[in-house]
Structure 1
Amino acid sequence: MMFDAINEDALYDALVARDGQYEGRYFVGVTSTGIFCRLTCPARKPLRENCQFFPTIGQCIEAGFRPCKRCSPLGPAAEADPMIANLLTALHAAPDHRWSEGDVITRGFDPSTVRRAFKRQFGVTFLEMARLNRLRDGFLALKDGQSVIQAQLEAGFDSGSGFRTAFAKLLGVAPGSFTGKEHLRADLVETPVGPMVAVADMTSLHLLEFMDRKGLPAELKKLRDGAKGQLGLGRFTPIDQVTEQLEGFFDGRRPRFDVPLTMHGTPFTRRVWSALREIPAGQTRSYGDIAKAIGQPTATRAVARANGANQIAILIPCHRVIGADGSLTGYAGGLWRKQKLIELERHYAGASA
């Protein structure tokens, strides 16, 4: 899927004017409230700096925003499909329920049909929508220092063990065991292309990954094992640094990053990752180009594997590597993010040259 560059000033003007020309084409996420709306929402208009714009509902949900209750951005899809309306109503009525395919079948629907319908309309499946909401609320509650029980209630789980099990799948440790004194600490970093999990020690960043990446739990477990269980929730200075620098990157002010990194990998993968960091923002390379850059022109496949093993997204810009034919090829964070990042970096091209 290709994305046109978003003129966010024009979208904000449309939001203020409640202009219907972008209806269904763009949505706004309001960082001060954590909700997303149609641009025609009748609610009081947010400040420009609190707005993030997305072309799909799925991207709003993946970025951690809840749908607005006043303008009901999920409404049109529900009105067009009674099955979607039924399940959204059920999800809203039972936020503390852990949804499964069995629940979908019980309501008289075919799980595969439901998956296709939600994916088509929202960009995420019904079960993914429920899971993302629970994880988001639970992570934010714990980050703010709330108790495990309170975090459980915020996340909508019907039992403490249910919440601990779900959180363990993400971070590899039950939330009640965090002491706040761990050697490695993880925190949530919000970005215009979705929430990311950052892990750092006192001096360097070890991981920066999109929260919905399937391989994230395995990466976190590896870090936790390497730190002998010393992985908790909280912030060290490198996470504050990367948060600030990512804001500058997405605002068009910072084409490069200087956050200290600890790269966990073989000597070969670290060489590949170092070569990736030499690709200027606004430019792309092929796997073959990277292989030549590290002096191993026949190692194209190994370079591709190392590219896919990168666990510090954006800062180690594996999104800038494309196929020899110009195709986007794979990206663990999703091809829509890869295209979006490349589009965002185009205005850096002149400075890089």
Structure 2
Amino acid sequence: MNVTPDLDTRFREAALREGLVDVRYDIVDSPVGDLFLAATERGLCRISYWPEGMEESLARTYGPRVLRSPLDDVHRELDEYFEGTRREFDLPIDLRVAPFHADVLAELARVPYGRTETYGSLAAKVGRPKAARAVGTVMHHNPIPIVLPCHRIVGANGSLTGYAGGLDVKLRLLQLEGAMLV
């Protein structure tokens, strides 16, 4: 049986209306490549530079009912960010991470647009001054890059270090924000 696009849209809308979806996702084009976006009814839960395998990952974390559906608010705020008209995001967030990760990500969210911090300074701000490497691990596993701006975290000497989207993307994001780099 072939499902027409109209019927498919109606099924998707009905599933959303009836609360039959655990997580919605979309893949959008951006100046730094395709971005995989996902949200639960509580808020944005994932941005990934690598869409492959994300549906399965979402199903394991949030529940099996995963549906591709536009995330207009997320897409709009990201577009505004890339256009240079948005410096902070107003999106609700659904984080399901360990307490240390939650503390680090909460502090990360406070790093201002156009500024950088070191892994060590972020560790100190969460009360773990010797945990720079652990902070690096949290940055590596940040479920919502760009919105939770791990691209603003640099090495102790100001150097660009690892980034999920690649160092070229990290540099582009920092340049977009006008960050002063060493």
TM-score, normalised by the number of residues in structure 1: 0.44
Q: How does 1:1-353 map to 2 (within 5 A)?
A: 145=5, 180=12, 181=15, 182-211=21-50, 217=53, 220-235=55-70, 239-346=71-178
Specify whether residues 324 and 268 from structure 1 end up closer, same or farther in structure 2 by C-alpha distance, changes over 3 A only.
same
Post-superposition Cα deviations, 1:222-255, rounded to whole Å, max 9, x if no partner, equal 32023331112113xxx21111111111111110
C-alpha separation in 2, matches of 1:341 and 1:197? 17
Partner secondary structure for residue 115 of structure 2: coil
C-alpha separation in 2, matches of 1:346 and 1:250? 12
Higher helix fraction (1 or 2)? 1
Partner secondary structure for residue 56 of structure 2: helix
Displacement after TM superposition at 1:264 (Å): 2.0
Displacement after TM superposition at 1:292 (Å): 0.7
TM-score, normalised by the number of residues in structure 2: 0.84
Quote the residue 2:18 is aligned against: none
- Identity among equivalent pairs (%): 34
Say which one has the larger Rg.
Answer: 1
Structure 2 alignment gaps of length 5 or more: 16-20
Q: CA RMSD in A?
A: 2.2
Partner secondary structure for residue 282 of structure 1: coil
C-alpha separation in 1, matches of 2:101 and 2:144? 13
Partner secondary structure for residue 332 of structure 1: coil
Structure 1 alignment gaps of length 5 or more: 1-143, 148-178
Q: How many residues are matched?
A: 167
Displacement after TM superposition at 1:146 (Å): 8.9
C-alpha separation in 2, matches of 1:280 and 1:290? 13
C-alpha separation in 2, matches of 1:254 and 1:270? 24
